Structure 1
Amino acid sequence: MDRLGSIEAFVKAAELGSFTLAARQLRLSPSALSRRVAWLEEELGVRLLHRTTRAVRLSEDGRAFFERCRDSLRELGEAQHAVSRLREHPAGLLRVEAPTVLGRHVIVPALSRFVSRYSEVRVELDLRDHPADPTTEGIDVALRLGALEDSGLIARKLGRTRMRVCGAPGYLKRKGTPRTVEALERHDCLGLSLHGRVISWRLRDRTRVREVVPGGRIVVNSGEALIDLAVSGAGLAWVCDFMMARAHAAGKLVEVLEDAACEQSPIHVLSLPSRQALPKVRAFVDFLAGELARNGVET
């Protein structure tokens, strides 16, 4: 027998003083409701209700049990209502994991607008360069740059980022603006090192794609440091479009060799099947798609 259903039948019969009225409200037959209460009494080993042909009334043991059960059912109803509200509109804790560079340049600058728009959502943002496992770490939304590995997660492509060459106006005034890929040999090209290896720039040179090894005297292992160095005039940088978007809009960086840009990386958002339909997840993903578009990411 369903214990919770039996407790609900007992409480309703005690409140109304009638098996017939209680059964009508619970959409049961009077005999089915009576069996539930009888089963509960047998489980507890006490008489909960005194029955007459016209009404039922609480026993002494039944009254003490009734008061506790009534309060517990009320709390359970409130909990169910709260969960229903979470499924109707964005609310609750949202755990987001993203690559550091994407988080610093796109998510962090926009987070205050997101939480202002959705006042019942709390955000925990985890920026890391080694992807987490959303299944084991309780992550609602995970962002990925580049090709995806096979997983049981639901993936939605938000856009594709393109790698671009840029430099500060002061640097270009001092060193000149390169017009060809070959001209980069005469420039200070800032290097980015990942896992101990300096990343080559892949650029379109007329009809073919060339790999250019940055020959500047500065190599860093941080995308943020790379942008800061480019803005300071230390040299040219090869970066994702969203990394240079704000500095470009402010006139601090200028794109060069626009026709040579060819390298692309997709941006996906991953979520567990059980979390994909949550309003807080849908709201954040839609919001992030808009932010990426504002930062120059192609859809």
Structure 2
Amino acid sequence: MQWEGISEFVYVAENESFTLASKKMAISTAQVSRQISALEKRLNIKLFYRTTRKVSLTEEGRVFYQHCRSVLDGLDAAERAITNLQSKPQGKIKLTASVTYGEQHILPLVNDFMQLYSDIEVSAYLSNRKIDLVEDGYDLAIRLGKLSDSSMMAKKLGKRTNYVCASPVYLEKQGIPHSISELNKHSCLLGTLDYWHFTELNKEKSIRVSGRLRYNSGYSLTDAALKGLGIVQLPDYYVQQHLESGKLVSLLDNYRAPDEGIWAVYPQNRHLSPKIRLLVDYLADQLS
């Protein structure tokens, strides 16, 4: 009896919505509402302020939430401890990553991982759109660059380097830029942004660039650079092999922006289960 309504209360508190809480718990909104009402009656306190637009915790509700969250975290820890006793990790992992990096680097490693652990199931969705992990029920996201969402926990898996480069043919015709101010004299191959990132005098700096070509595909931009159509700024996994072969030449190395992180990101209120921690550690080992 004393546990009734606790899970519903925590889900509503964290989602600020009876509807979202019901979807996460796979029960009806009416059932969630009944459990919350019964809990408030049993405790003889008001847990939520309710309006047509928003659900928010009362002062008493915030205090009660902190204790309930600790209790549920303790139950999760107990379940993980039992899972750790199993000889094989098992269960489902739902993850997301950006399209190109996911295709070329993450999913091949996930395939290797699954060969090692036959009782684990993985569902992956690749998208360049930033997905809400909590709302869409994801266990894990692989994200690149600077992290902006402070509500998430993150583990660094590796790093990437952004190179500015061009083909020898282009440089022979158009000359070599020796400072970032000279980029305005060159044809720059654009991605989704008009800005390229650099470091000048120990400060990070964004420079607006322009050109007659814009693609939202790193591989297509690489191909354009190889064919002498201009200068490009791209992460190492697009251009590294071409830099090593001499088909592309690295430029403005003294102005190169700091390396960016490759991150495993997961919701703050969830502790990593053994199977997810195992995958994260495996990716970190392979990508480091």
The TM-score normalised by the length of structure 1 is 0.56
* Alpha-carbon distance between aligned partners in 2 of 1:252 and 1:116, rounded to the nearest angstrom: 36
* Alpha-carbon distance between aligned partners in 1 of 2:287 and 2:240, rounded to the nearest angstrom: 10
* Alpha-carbon distance between aligned partners in 1 of 2:111 and 2:223, rounded to the nearest angstrom: 23
Residue 125 of structure 1 corresponds to 124
Runs of 4+ in 1 over 6 A off after TM superposition: none
**What whole-Å deviation, never above 9, does each CA across 1:162-195 have from its counterpart, x for those lacking one?**
43212234444554443332343343211122xx
* Alpha-carbon distance between aligned partners in 2 of 1:235 and 1:285, rounded to the nearest angstrom: 38
Shift in Å at residue 264 of structure 1? 4.9
* Alpha-carbon distance between aligned partners in 2 of 1:90 and 1:246, rounded to the nearest angstrom: 37
Residue 40 of structure 2 corresponds to none
**Match of 2:129, SS?**
coil
**Match of 1:93, SS?**
strand
Residue 56 of structure 1 corresponds to none
* Alpha-carbon distance between aligned partners in 1 of 2:276 and 2:207, rounded to the nearest angstrom: 40
When Rg is computed on C-alpha atoms for both structures, the one with the higher figure is 1
Shift in Å at residue 141 of structure 1? 1.1
Q: 1:181 to 1:130 in 2, by over 3 A?
A: same
Letter in 2 for 1:282: R
Letter in 2 for 1:204: T
Residue 113 of structure 1 corresponds to 112
Residue 202 of structure 1 corresponds to 197
* Alpha-carbon distance between aligned partners in 2 of 1:169 and 1:228, rounded to the nearest angstrom: 14
**Match of 2:105, SS?**
helix
Letter in 1 for 2:125: D
Residue 192 of structure 1 corresponds to 191
Q: Is it true that 1:147 corresponds to 2:147 in the alignment?
A: yes
Shift in Å at residue 97 of structure 1? 0.7
Residue 282 of structure 2 corresponds to 287
CA RMSD in angstroms comes to 3.3
Residue 156 of structure 1 corresponds to 155
5+ residue gaps, structure 1, are 1-79, 294-299
**Match of 1:239, SS?**
strand
Identical residues among aligned pairs (%): 29
5+ residue gaps, structure 2, are 1-78
Q: 1:191 to 1:289 in 2, by over 3 A?
A: same
Letter in 1 for 2:230: G
**Match of 2:143, SS?**
strand
Q: How does 1:16-35 map to 2 (within 5 A)?
A: none
Give the conservation status (yes or no) of the 8 Å contact 1:89–1:279: no
Give the conservation status (yes or no) of the 8 Å contact 1:269–1:285: yes
* Alpha-carbon distance between aligned partners in 1 of 2:259 and 2:252, rounded to the nearest angstrom: 16
**Match of 2:191, SS?**
strand
* Count of residue pairs the alignment pairs up: 207
* Alpha-carbon distance between aligned partners in 2 of 1:156 and 1:209, rounded to the nearest angstrom: 24
